[in-house]
């Protein structure tokens, strides 16, 4: 009888250890899954934010080009740069660079030759001026690099948007 009671206690002890191990494994799985969800949500947020910034800077570039006359003087808008949401050299926020290239009669345009894409007068049928707006949004993925190790050589994620616009 004593032996049977000891076996019962031993079996109860093994079952308790098994249940504790099972619950701790499930808990570790839940913590791991929630960490991945937070990481994916942060990555998606940063990507969507950079897409919205690229759209906004495209509209800013178009407004800037229409406000300046590229055929007179040195009023040709060729580049826009900026930062949004913090200092990118410290790993925060976004770096923005906009390159504007012109397509049209190069004898009328007063831009630098590196930003004029056509070289003849009859390249376009409608003889209108077009621009190509390239927007580059750069940011750092915090899961790859810790904030303490941000340098110029730190890899950055780049979102690019190209738009062709008639002026």
Strands (E), the chain: 79-84, 94-103, 130-139, 157-166
What span, in angstroms and rounded, lies between the C-alpha atoms of 116 and 118?
6
Q: Report pLDDT digits (tens) over 2-34.
A: 555 666 777 888 898 999 999 999 999 999 999
Domain holding 90, by residue range, is 44-166
Whether residue 120 has pLDDT greater than 90? no
Looking at the structure of the chain, the number of domains it has is 1
Q: Mind listing the pLDDT tens digit for each residue in 58-85?
A: 999 999 988 887 776 667 888 999 999 8
Residue 133 located in a structural domain: yes
Read off the tokens for 158.
């780049």
């Amino acid at each position: 009888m004593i032996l049977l009671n000891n076996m019962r206690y031993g079996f109860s002890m093994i079952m308790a250890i098994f249940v504790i191990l099972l619950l701790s494994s499930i808990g570790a799985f839940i913590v791991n899954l929630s960490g991945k969800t937070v990481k994916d949500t942060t990555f998606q947020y940063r990507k969507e934010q950079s897409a919205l910034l690229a759209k906004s800077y495209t509209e800013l570039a178009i407004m800037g080009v229409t406000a300046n006359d590229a055929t007179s003087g040195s009023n040709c808008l060729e580049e826009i740069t900026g930062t949004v949401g913090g200092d990118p050299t410290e790993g925060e926020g976004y770096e923005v660079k906009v390159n504007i290239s012109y397509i049209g009669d190069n004898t009328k345009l007063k831009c630098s030759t590196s930003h004029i894409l056509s070289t003849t007068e009859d390249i376009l049928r409608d003889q209108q001026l077009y621009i190509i707006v390239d927007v580059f949004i750069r940011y750092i993925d915090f899961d790859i690099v810790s904030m303490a190790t941000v340098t110029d050589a730190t890899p950055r994620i780049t979102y690019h948007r190209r738009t062709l616009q008639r002026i």
